[in-house]
A = this chain, B = another copy of it.
Amino acid sequence: MNDLRNSKPLYVAKAELFKSLGHPARIRILELLVAGEMSVSNLLAATGLEPSSLSQHLNVVKHTGLVQSSRAGNIVTYRVTDPSVGEFLAAARSVLATTLGRARQTLEDLVGPA
């Protein structure tokens, strides 16, 4: 059900956590879910993924405990398990912001401003 359980060195669990977000489709899925729970069919429409592909990606993030699902009749709804997931994504955004800014800066240092 959840693969980040004990009996694993912490840095392995942490690596699996990062890896589970190491795919564009899963990033898009998580950003949607951070904004609010969503059914598979809505995710399907929002992402444009193949149903089987979406399901597989959802399974990956479910295994690392980032999301949960529940079924109501025919419809399966996914949601993030904890607000910390949103903060995790936000932290990535912040790294990216300074990292991209720094790349631009370094470039200007080397070749001068545009």
Residues of A within 8 A of B (CB): 1-2, 4-6, 9-24, 26-28, 31, 64-66, 81-82, 84-85, 87-88, 90-100, 102-103, 106
Contact = CB atoms under 8 A, between A and B. Distances in A.
B15 A18 contact: no
Contacts of A95: 17, 66, 82, 84-85, 87-88
Interface of A is mostly: helix
Interface centre among A16, A23, A85, A96 (most CB of B within 10 A): A96
Nearest to A99: B65
Contacts of A21: 15, 18
A100 B5 contact: yes
